[in-house]
Amino acid sequence: MRMQRTGRVTLLRRVVTAVISIALLSTGAVGVARADEGTPVPTPTETAPPPATPKLAVTASAPATTYLARATAASGTVTVEDTTAPVSVQAQVKVDGKWRNDGKPAAVASNGKFTLPLAYGLKKVATYEWKVVASVPATTEATAASADSKSFKVKRLAQKVTIKADAIKRVGKKLTASGKLTGFDGAVTVKAQVYVDGKWRTKNTVKVKKGATSYKAELTYDLNKAGKRTWRVVATSGSQKATSSKIKVQRIPLRAIDARADRTKQIGSRNYAKGKVTGFEGKVKVKAQVYAKGKWSTKKTVTVKAKYSGTSYKVELPYAVNGRGTTTWRVLVDDGKATRKSAKFKVSRVAGNIDSRCLTGRVLCVSKQDRKVRWMVDGEIKKTFDARFGKSSTPTRNGAYKVYWKSRDHVSSLYGSPMPFAMFFSGGQAVHYSSDFARRGYNGASHGCVNIRDYAGIKKLFDTVRVGDKVIVYA
């Protein structure tokens, strides 16, 4: 029991002691007592909260296209929470698959707005990918942080200048080139250049005000000379430059036609006007006109495919062919839009050395007067040959005959002499090639035949002349 009470008393004492100790601790008495007893007691402290992580976001954009040497910038907005630290932005461009800084960082305005120049590739035509990186430094309140915008692309384009002008212009006429200007920032200098002797040469320069989008420049080189030239324009504004495509301009002659013809013509023979049509392009009608009975009348028309540079023509003059006298002619060209006339010219018809029997049909016209053989068809002389005739003891017979036999490699049965390309018209007399005539000329004579010394010519004539064609021999 005593043990039990003792135990109880002891327990009670322990409880009282503990209560008192607690009370003393709350009032600091124990501390003082412990201090008095020489035992140190730590003072309690508060734990500091950890630094905040700022919330950072950035948006950025730029024009999708711009031009060489033109200042270009990205703009956007930065939003930030949980920090009062200053915000900066940095432009970055992707080069060879890696992001690299472009330019210097810039501060963000108090409203979160920013503008950043995009300088990389300023003078190169290409498409670049960009982004903007926003960042804040670490502070006692918050950690450092950064954020990237979505990437965006900017395509740099070259400045452009176009050119257009009339592709065809008459000599002496004013010619102006015009075109559009694109992508220039300031006033523009436009140079009109022509390609001459392997080099581009500036022939005119015009100034265009800032903001203008078009120009005009006169093309003055070779104003009065027919021909084709290659032109371009070069536009510059500071370091900005553009060259147009090339164009070709053809200076063409003024519309004209000239004419020439035999002014004296034998009765019955054909006559032609010949000349050149210039300044016309495409199909044109060339008309031979005679002045008769007080007015101009078209007697023959031919169609010619003309070129501006000049095209030759030939048109017959068929009026009053078989009569003596003089007629007045001109030649007119007509393309349906414009006409031009040649100068007037006169043609006189004369009898001459041609027998009237030679003026119709297919005829070997043999003239002893001028020692010529003329191959004529319907009055037109197709070919003329020098001729030699028989000597006085064996003369060539005059008269009207027909070719009755042709022998290409004939040899005379009387004289044994070769008679190539023989065309017989009267007994044993023939028109044929003579090597003796070719060798000795008129120092010799035939036995009555008509000798020809043009081998190639009579060879061709032999193939042309037919049995039955007329042969007229006259003195």
Domains delineated in the chain: 55-157 (2.60.40.10), 160-252 (2.60.40.10), 256-350 (2.60.40.150), 356-474 (2.40.440.10)
Provide the pLDDT for residue 265: 82
pLDDT band at 460; cut points 50, 70, 90: very high
Whether 118 has a pLDDT exceeding 50, the answer reads yes
Provide the pLDDT for residue 10: 35
* Nearby residues of 55 by Cβ (< 8 Å), 6 or more positions away: 79, 80, 81, 82, 145
Provide the pLDDT for residue 8: 35
Average pLDDT (337-366) is: 88
User: Which of the residue ranges 114-128, 326-340, 348-362 would you say has the lowest mean pLDDT?
Assistant: 348-362
Tell me the H-state helices in 156-269: none
pLDDT band at 96; cut points 50, 70, 90: very high
Average pLDDT (41-48) is: 60
**Closest among 185, 374, 125, 426 to 270, alpha carbons compared:** 374
Provide the pLDDT for residue 25: 44
The SS3 assignment for 239 reads coil
Give how far Cα 198 sits from Cα of 195, 218, 247, Å: 6, 22, 16
Provide the pLDDT for residue 1: 26
Provide the pLDDT for residue 44: 58
Instruction: Tell me the sheet residues that pair with 286.
Output: 302, 333
The per-residue pLDDT of the chain, averaged, comes to 89
- Kind of pairing between the strands at 247-252 and 380-388: unpaired
Other residues' Cβ atoms within 10 Å of the Cβ of residue 215: 22
pLDDT in tens, 316-344: 999 999 887 889 999 999 999 999 999 99
Q: Which amino acid does the sequence have at 282?
A: G
Provide the pLDDT for residue 326: 87
Question: What does the alpha-carbon distance between residue 397 and residue 472 come to, in Å, rounded to a whole number?
Answer: 10
Whether 97 has a pLDDT exceeding 80, the answer reads yes
Q: Which long-range contacts (CB under 8 A, 24 or more apart) does 379-384 make?
A: 379/268, 379/269, 379/270, 379/321, 379/322, 380/269, 380/270, 381/269, 383/457, 383/461
pLDDT band at 354; cut points 50, 70, 90: confident
Give how far Cα 63 sits from Cα of 71, 107, 241, 420, Å: 11, 21, 21, 94
pLDDT band at 36; cut points 50, 70, 90: very low
Contact assessment for residue 385 and residue 458, using Cβ atoms and an 8 Å cutoff? yes
Average pLDDT (264-277) is: 89
Question: What does the alpha-carbon distance between residue 328 and residue 99 come to, in Å, rounded to a whole number?
Answer: 90
Whether 16 has a pLDDT exceeding 90, the answer reads no
Other residues' Cβ atoms within 10 Å of the Cβ of residue 155: 13
Provide the pLDDT for residue 167: 95
Give how far Cα 82 sits from Cα of 85, 113, 145, 146, 180, Å: 9, 18, 11, 13, 54
Whether 29 has a pLDDT exceeding 90, the answer reads no
Provide the pLDDT for residue 356: 78
Provide the pLDDT for residue 240: 95
User: Which of the residue ranges 20-24, 48-52, 203-207, 413-417 would you say has the lowest mean pLDDT?
Assistant: 20-24
Provide the pLDDT for residue 264: 72
Helix (H) or strand (E) holding 15: helix 2-27
Whether 13 has a pLDDT exceeding 90, the answer reads no
Q: Structure pTM?
A: 0.57
Q: 105 phi and psi, to 5 degrees?
A: -65, 155
CA 61 to chain CA centroid, nearest Å: 41
* Residue 335 Ramachandran class (φ > 0 left, ψ -120 to 50 alpha, else beta): alpha
Residue 107: HSE in the Cβ half-sphere, 13 Å Cα cutoff: 5
pLDDT band at 377; cut points 50, 70, 90: confident
Strand intervals (E) in 223-294: 227-237, 240-243, 247-252, 256-257, 264-266, 272-278, 282-292
Provide the pLDDT for residue 46: 62
**Closest among 264, 409, 243, 251 to 324, alpha carbons compared:** 264
The SS3 assignment for 80 reads strand
Provide the pLDDT for residue 31: 37
pLDDT in tens, 149-186: 999 999 999 999 999 999 999 999 999 999 999 999 99
pLDDT band at 358; cut points 50, 70, 90: confident
Provide the pLDDT for residue 48: 67
Give the rounded percent of residues in the chain with a pLDDT score beyond 90.
79
Tell me the H-state helices in 369-440: 435-440
pLDDT band at 269; cut points 50, 70, 90: confident
Whether 28 has a pLDDT exceeding 50, the answer reads no
Residue 236: HSE in the Cβ half-sphere, 13 Å Cα cutoff: 6
Whether 26 has a pLDDT exceeding 50, the answer reads no
User: Which of the residue ranges 92-106, 248-262, 375-389 would you say has the lowest mean pLDDT?
Assistant: 375-389
